[in-house]
Chains A and B, each alone.
Chain A
Amino acid sequence: MVLLAFLVAITWAIIQLRDLFAAVMLTGIFSLISACLFMVMDAVDVAFTEAAVGAGISTILMLRTLALTEGRSDPRYNRLELGPLAVVVAIGAVLIYGTFDMPRFGDPNAPIHTHMVPRFLEQSSEIGIPNIVTSILGSYRGYDTFGETTVVFTAAIGVFLLLSDLRRGRRVDDALRDDIILRIGAKAPIPFIMVFALYVQFHGDYGPGGGFQAGVIFAAAIVLYTLVFGLAKAEKIFRRRRLELLVAGGVLLYGAVGVVSMLFGGNFLDYNVLAHDPVHGQHYGILLIELGVGITVAAVMVSLFFLFARRQQV
């Protein structure tokens, strides 16, 4: 409740603020609070994603975008538009009306608890993966997740096409190497962040986490490196072609798992056939597709960051 009040307060503040920079900072807080809310509602995996994506990467990307714009919103666009307001209020009212029909949060008699959840839980224990979210996403709804990965892939290609044919401007050496405190303070954590990302990657079955989150965290480590040691150096290590290969490679890995399971005589993305024991098969299958997701997400994030960073230098 308190958190919700915070959310309302902060939204109001964001709307009121003229200074876009301040607005971005407040957006950061907004996503921190909403992640707390997800936590309170026990949706750990969602909170995890929000933590990685909302609080971290999107703030950075928004700032990069801000660097390309003027930094202040035009007051002319801030008049109260009655038409859109009415539409929004109407839709909001309809949505709220809709929630009246919805069972109360945590109501054991809700349809989702009587029909879906037991099925998922049953399936999940049959698959032998402790984290139910992962098993649902990776196995039961493997197609959907495959689709989502493809969406990330397609979106990335779109952004690449939009941004990549920029005129090459002068290169600024934007390294912060002279800053000894930052250099040492950032150098030490980078490898640990990377290992932590891989831990999140491979323990998606047991705890909150998985490919999406791991990809973002891994990308964050590279972003940190780029920030401290400069874009030029980072691009030399993470070459563009290779990143693009990885973006595609991740999706292909996911697809390949599906195809291989077909070759073994199962359905597309039916991991049971990957090993003698269906439980192990499921395990390997999810591990592999999560790896595919992770690779794609990490590569997309890093490429996006590079693109924005390069653009700022032009």
Chain B
Amino acid sequence: MFAAPMIAILVSMAMLLVRAVKGPTVFDRILSVNSFGTKTVLLIAVLGFLTGRPAFLDLALVYALMNFISTIAVLKFTRFGSLAGKRLRPTEPQAADS
């Protein structure tokens, strides 16, 4: 019975994968990766119950955590690095406070 959510999550992962590959902007990709991470958390939680080892939840939390931190890191990078403007019209990041 746990199969239903698992399949749903896998299918939606596949759809996210398509979005991540297609882009078109870097932000779309970051969003897909972030969303993919959330799906992974859910998948692991469900899988943990499927195999009867709820200790897997530690793992799910680590994923949630790493997902958050790497998203922030990536964003910081797009803001200060020079790469983000590749497909966008790059404008100067505004000064410290607007």
**In the complex, are the beta carbons of B29 and A217 less than 8 A apart?**
no
Q: Which of A2-10, A271-279, A287-295 contacts B (4 or more CB under 8 A)?
A: A2-10
Contact pattern, A 1-28, Cβ under 8 Å of B = 1, otherwise 0: 0110010011001000101011001101
Q: Does A56 contact B (CB under 8 A)?
A: yes
Contact pattern, A 226-256, Cβ under 8 Å of B = 1, otherwise 0: 0110000000000000000000000000000
**In the complex, are the beta carbons of A28 and B33 less than 8 A apart?**
yes
* Majority-rule SS of B interface residues: helix
How many angstroms between the C-alpha atoms of A3 and B7 in the bound complex? 11
Residues of B that sit less than 8 Å from A by CB: 10, 13-14, 17, 20-21, 23, 26, 29-30, 32-33, 36-37, 40, 43-44, 47, 51, 53, 55-56, 58-59, 61-63, 65-70, 72-74, 76-77, 80-83, 86, 96-97
How many angstroms between the C-alpha atoms of A10 and B19 in the bound complex? 12
Contact pattern, A 32-69, Cβ under 8 Å of B = 1, otherwise 0: 10011001101010011001100111011001101100
Interface residues on A, range: 35 or more
Residues in B with CB closer than 8 Å to A40 are 47
Residues in B with CB closer than 8 Å to A6 are 13-14, 17
Q: Which of A82-90, A145-153, A207-215, A257-265 contacts B (4 or more CB under 8 A)?
A: A207-215
Residues in A with CB closer than 8 Å to B44 are 36, 39
